[in-house]
Amino acid sequence: MRKIIIAGNWKMYKTQSEASEFLMEFIAQIDDAPEDREVVLCVPFTDLAIVSKSLHGNRIRLGAQNVHWEESGAFTGEISASMLTEVGVRYAIVGHSERRQYFGETDETVNLRLKAAQSSGLIPILCVGETKQQRDGGKTEQIIINQLDNGLVGVAQDKLVIAYEPIWAIGTGETCEAGEANRVIGVIRDRLTNPNVTIQYGGSVKPSNINEIMAQPHIDGVLVGGASLAASDFAGIVNYQ
Ligand code: PGA
């Protein structure tokens, strides 16, 4: 059975006080959300400890936005898996397009991060997706398949989430048409050995398009950036019918 996972990615937004304010509002609004879905918040490192405390005994799971492959060492600006698990983190986004684009993340470093996350008991959320130029050039499938084949070498597929995030749809308001997202996610599923991997869609998900996205047979959840920052918007997404 594939698990439904609705995850928010706060990126570099929210101080601790803003995070606490969000949670007070948000938790009250998802009280009646059906039990069939897991809710995850991937927050900045400085928010992890305080969010972890507020989530204690609650259904929301905590996520980070990156994880380094070494256990410790001289890696200024990085964070290890055990630093994350110690504060209650369960998930870690790996290979987000913003990491690939602005911070030189490659399929090889993505692969190292995925393996390190899994060996510490974290569930990585591997992001894959094509640029507008690659899509227009008819290269979408090839790009995605390369990202999967190189990223997943030696990675276990039983503790793994994949997010298909077409880069042109991230933060642009331009959502990938639900049927097309479903088609590409079908291509991803065909490439995996485990049929039960949760595969999310990400890119301008909002309360107004969540029902259509979640109605697609291959789509098992969403990774939400902008619309996860406002409690009422993210609750609207979590509470989809
Ligand atoms: P968006 O971001 O929802 O703001 O488009 C999605 C993401 O980057 O994960």
Residue 98 sits at the vertex; the CA angle it makes with 67 and 232, to the nearest 5 degrees, is: 90
pLDDT digits (tens, 9 = 90+) for 88-141: 999 999 999 999 999 999 999 999 999 999 999 999 999 999 999 999 999 999
> From the CB of 129, is ligand 1 less than 6 Å away?
no
User: What is d(CA 107, CA 170) in angstroms, rounded to the nearest whole number?
Assistant: 20
- Of the two residues 174 and 156, the one the predictor is more confident about is 156
For ligand 1, whether the C-beta of 65 sits within 6 Å is no
Residues 45-50, mean pLDDT to the nearest whole number: 97
Cα dihedral value 222, 225, 230, 233, nearest 10: -30
Two tokens, residue 55: 């989530």
Please give the torsion angle defined by the CA atoms of residues 213, 177, 11 and 48, in that order, rounded to the nearest 10 degrees: 10
pLDDT at 175: 84
- Assess whether 68 carries a catalytic annotation: no
Residue nearest to atom 1 of ligand 1 (CA): 225
Res. 26: pLDDT tops 90: yes
Q: Decide: 200 and 164 in contact? Cβ < 8 Å.
A: yes
Please state, in angstroms and rounded to a whole number, the distance separating the CA atoms of residues 72 and 128. Answer: 27
Type of residue found at 210: I
Cα gap 85→88, rounded to integer Å:
5
For ligand 1, the distance from its centroid to the CA atom of residue 206, given in whole angstroms, is: 10
| Per-residue confidence (pLDDT) for residue 102, from 0 to 100 | 97
Q: What is the 3-state secondary structure (H, E, C) of 71-137?
A: CCCCCCCCCCHHHHHHCCEEEEEECCHHHHHHCCCCHHHHHHHHHHHHHCCCEEEEEECCCHHHHHC
223 CA closest ligand 1 atom index: 9
Catalytic residue among 68, 96, 105, 130: 96
What's the pLDDT at 58?
A: 86
C-alpha of residue 12 to centroid of ligand 1, in Å:
12
Residue with token string 């509470």:
239
- What are 203's two structure tokens? 């890119």
In Å, how far are 1, 20, 157, 173, 223 from 220, measured between CA atoms? 11, 28, 15, 21, 10
Domain boundaries, the chain: 4-238
Residue 226 Cβ contacting ligand 1 at under 6 Å: yes
Name the residue type at position 11: K
Number of separate helices (H) and strands (E) present in the chain: 10, 8
H-helix segments, the chain: 16-29, 45-55, 81-86, 97-102, 107-119, 132-136, 140-151, 178-191, 210-214, 231-238
What local confidence, expressed as pLDDT, does residue 115 receive?
A: 98
How many A from CA of 203 to the centre of ligand 1?
5
Q: Can you give the pTM of this predicted structure?
A: 0.97
Phi-psi region of 188 (alpha: psi -120 to 50; beta: other; left: phi over 0): alpha
Check pocket membership of 203 for ligand 1, CB cut-off 6 A: yes
Q: 221 CB under 6 A from ligand 1? A: no
Catalytic residue, candidates 38, 98, 105, 165: 165
Measured distance CA(7)–CA(75) in Å, rounded: 28
The whole-angstrom separation of Cα 187 and Cα 111 is 20
The mean of the pLDDT values for the chain is: 97
Question: Which superfamily is assigned to 4-238 in CATH?
Answer: Aldolase class I (3.20.20.70)
